[in-house]
Amino acid sequence: MTTDDAVPKQDRSRATRQRLLETAVRCLATHGWEISTVGFIAAEAGISRGAVQHHYRTREALILAALEHMFEERTTLLDALPDPAGSGPERVHAVVTGLVEAMGGELFRAALQVWTVAAADPELRAAVVPLERHFAREVHRRAVRLLRVDDSDPATRGLIQATLDLARGLALADVLTDDSRRRARVVRAWSTQLAAALSASEEPVGS
């Protein structure tokens, strides 16, 4: 086989994996862990079960690959957040709103299914925890960049962590019902407090 013949085959294989991972994420978010078997995901993706197992020999391998894909997609969403102009409470509100929106949605719902199972499955938990820690570090780093703060200060670091914990909590509240109105009020209230706290932390002592 020539190189020219191999490239399209590699492209097809890459496209198949991408479709599988995207379908696995959608199935987890929409149908849950129990229903999202290899056979179900294969059928939803329009791919034979044998073709799936050619790429991922076990369900766990497919789910973990989907989880990594989720983290990459969520990181991409965070990277795509605009860096608002200006300063003050409105800028902080825009950043917090973006973080909350990026950390929720389908990707969060899919990840939640995996976390729930991993809590009672030591092997799955051992695989998931390092991925979660890596994602948490990346989210924190991006939040610091967008808020333009120095998180070497413990108080500031705590405020960033509280913001991210708030974002996860609001994403969880939105799983069963549309919580958008209450979420908007909470984000506004927290953003106002966060802006004031960050501004105070930047003031010289004794000013």
Q: Domain ranges in the chain?
A: 3-202
How far apart CA 58 and CA 49 sit, in angstroms, is: 11
Among residues 71, 63, 75, 171, the alpha carbon closest in space to that of 118 is found at: 63
Task: Check residue 202 and give its pLDDT.
Answer: 65
Query: CATH homologous superfamily of domain 3-202?
Result: Tetracycline Repressor, domain 2 (1.10.357.10)
C-alpha torsion sign, points 84, 90, 96, 100: negative
- Buried b / exposed e across 86-118, counting CB within 10 Å, b at 16+? eeebebbbbbbbbbbbbbbeebbbbbbbbbeeb
Q: What is the pLDDT along the chain (207 residues), one digit of tens a residue?
A: 444 455 577 777 888 899 999 999 999 999 999 999 999 999 999 999 888 888 898 888 898 899 888 888 888 888 888 888 888 899 999 999 999 998 888 889 999 999 999 999 998 899 889 988 988 999 999 999 999 998 899 999 999 999 999 999 999 988 888 878 899 999 999 999 999 999 887 654 444
d(CA 170, CA 184): 10
Residue 166 and residue 173 in contact, taking contact as beta carbons nearer than 8 Å: no
Nearest to 98 by CA among 161, 132, 146, 137: 146
CB atoms within 10 A of CB 42: 20
75 to each of 20, 26, 72, 135, 192, how far by Cα in Å?
19, 17, 5, 8, 26
How many of the other CB atoms lie within 10 Å of CB of 28?
25
The amino acid at residue 154 is P
pLDDT of 11? 75
pTM of the model: 0.81
